[in-house]
Structure 1
Amino acid sequence: MKVTLLGVGGSAGLPQIGGPGGFGDWGKTDPAEPRNRRTRSSIVIESTENKRILVDTSPDLRLQLIACGIGRIDALVYTHAHADHIAGLDEIRILNRLLGAPLPAYTDTCTWGELYQRFDYAFRPFSGGFFYRPVLVPHTVEPGNIVEIQGLPARFINQDHGTMRSLGLRVENLAYCTDVVRLDETALEALENLDVLVIDCFTPGPIHPTHANLATVLGWVERLRPRRTVLTHLGPDMDYQHLRATLPAGVEPGYDGMVIEA
């Protein structure tokens, strides 16, 4: 498998709106480091048969796919219904055209309910012809399910996102766990024996109500001992070079466009 991190930023991206003269607020990160420029969190998983699974449709999806040279998507997974993970859904219209078909999509009952309410037009019956709107074919999954998606066995993991639940995703020996603040024992057991763990890590210190901080993530790493851990959903206090210099061996910050072979 190949995994491309389309974006590794928090819900506001980086730089955030504001800052000196309105040209961007970089928080505690160095604006001269290009890997501190972050779009909203999303990934593409590509199988050895060149089938591609997109996880979440961020508001930055069009530019992300172009920047990473990804011109076709075969299936879609949603982790949850927060705006930074679904607001790019309209870009699916062009992906429908490139695929020449409605796009199969997978998420849980709660997330489908939110998507039906906000994007009802994406679920109307498709009678063929030109894709003038996004067209999704919904498949409902629940935590604990193992579902074959484009030839890959995808295991869905129940995650605590503070104010709601989110879905983690394990495909073979790689797991993607964004937007999580706590993992219960069942979730941790599902993440054992990993080669690669891509994990939410929003802040270096203070406890956050909806996202894991660095101490929490390092505790999970100590428990799970994946071969490689890559941090995503990084907040404005998470400077790339500082993290590179201070993280323990086997743990590293992600960046937009990063490619992971698994």
Structure 2
Amino acid sequence: MKVTVLGCGGSTGVPMVGGPGGYGDWGACDPKEARNIRTRSSILIQMQDGAGVLVDTGPDLRAQLLAHGISRFQAILYTHAHADHIAGIDEVRGINRVIGQPLTAYGAADVLAELEERFTYIFKPWTPPGFFRAALVAHPVPFGQKVAVNGYEFLLFEQAHGRIGSAGIRCGDFAYSTDVVELPESAFRHLAGVDTWMVDCFQRQPHSAHAWLARVLEWRERIQPRRVILTHMGPDMDWAWMQANLPQGVEPGWDGLTLELPDPPAIP
């Protein structure tokens, strides 16, 4: 299984719009360090047989797919319905054209219902030939229930993200927890034994809707993953500072990072 980090930034990305002359507000991040450039958070999970699952369709999706040479996957997994995780949904029309069929969209029932309400045309039944619009088929997934995605076992678990919830994802020995500030006990059960955990860490100080560094380190002590990779990072999280200050076993993600992990169990 290969995991590609398409983007690891917060809702505004890094740099944020603004700054001197309008060329970007970098906050505490050094603009000379390329790994401080962060597009909106998304990952692609690819199995050895070529099956691919995209997690979220943020507003930077087209540029992310082109930058990483990605033109084929069969499913999308949505963590929640905030704009920085769904606003690039129309860009999957190009994928529809390459694979010649609609994609399946997985997520919590309320998330998919909101997507269907906001993007009604995308979820209408597809009539071949051709794709003049993106085409998705909704497949709601209950929290805590294993589901076959492209023939492989995935599990969504509940998280708290400020005023709304979000879905964490477990796929074999890998877990992904973007946009989370609180983990219920059920999430800790689903994260037990995970090897590699990619987790929201927006900044160093406490935040009302996102995990911060001290909270992530507390979770790490309880879950004990071998490797923790930070994502959904804002302009407070400078690459060089993190390299100098993060404990062993905790590292910053960056746009373009790839991970090689064992495939999860296949489901006949």
TM bin, normalised by shorter chain, reads over 0.9
* Mapping for residues 166-245 of structure 1, pairs under 5 Å: 166-205=166-205, 207-245=206-244
Aligned partners of 2:148, 2:125: CA distance in 1, in Å?
24
Query: Which whole-Å deviations, capped at 9, do the CAs of 1:205-224 have from their partners, x for residues lacking one?
Result: 2x111000100000011111
Query: Which whole-Å deviations, capped at 9, do the CAs of 1:170-193 have from their partners, x for residues lacking one?
Result: 000100000000001110111011
Aligned partners of 2:114, 2:16: CA distance in 1, in Å?
26
1:36 positional shift: 0.3
2:64 maps to 1:64: yes
- Percentage of matched positions with identical amino acids: 52
Aligned partners of 2:188, 2:134: CA distance in 1, in Å?
35
Task: Write the letter of the residue equivalent to 1:245.
Answer: A
* Mapping for residues 24-173 of structure 1, pairs under 5 Å: 24-173=24-173
1:260 aligns with 259
1:244 positional shift: 1.2
Aligned partners of 1:112, 1:156: CA distance in 2, in Å?
14
2:265 aligns with none
Task: Write the letter of the residue equivalent to 1:69.
Answer: G
Aligned partners of 1:151, 1:220: CA distance in 2, in Å?
31
Aligned partners of 2:259, 2:125: CA distance in 1, in Å?
37
1:70 positional shift: 1.2
Aligned partners of 1:151, 1:260: CA distance in 2, in Å?
21
Query: Which whole-Å deviations, capped at 9, do the CAs of 1:15-70 have from their partners, x for residues lacking one?
Result: 00000000000011000000000000000001111111000001000110111121
Query: Which consecutive residues of structure 2, in runs of 5 or more, have no partner in the other structure?
Result: 262-268
Aligned partners of 1:78, 1:108: CA distance in 2, in Å?
8
Aligned partners of 1:189, 1:259: CA distance in 2, in Å?
26
Aligned partners of 2:195, 2:50: CA distance in 1, in Å?
21
Show structure 1 runs of 4+ deviating over 3 A: none
Aligned partners of 1:256, 1:151: CA distance in 2, in Å?
28
Query: Which whole-Å deviations, capped at 9, do the CAs of 1:120-149 have from their partners, x for residues lacking one?
Result: 000111111110101001101121111010
SS at match of 2:115: helix
Aligned partners of 2:247, 2:224: CA distance in 1, in Å?
12
Task: Write the letter of the residue equivalent to 1:226.
Answer: P
1:12 positional shift: 0.3
SS at match of 2:169: strand
Provide the TM-score with structure 1 as the length reference: 0.98
Aligned partners of 1:146, 1:186: CA distance in 2, in Å?
14
Task: Write the letter of the residue equivalent to 1:43.
Answer: I
* Mapping for residues 17-28 of structure 1, pairs under 5 Å: 17-28=17-28
Provide the TM-score with structure 2 as the length reference: 0.96
Task: Write the letter of the residue equivalent to 1:120.
Answer: T
Aligned partners of 1:193, 1:245: CA distance in 2, in Å?
28
Alignment RMSD: 0.7
1:151 positional shift: 2.1
1:249 aligns with 248
Q: Count residues in correspondence.
A: 261
Aligned partners of 1:100, 1:143: CA distance in 2, in Å?
30
Aligned partners of 1:180, 1:68: CA distance in 2, in Å?
26
Task: Write the letter of the residue equivalent to 1:160.
Answer: A
Aligned partners of 1:87, 1:41: CA distance in 2, in Å?
12
Aligned partners of 2:195, 2:67: CA distance in 1, in Å?
26
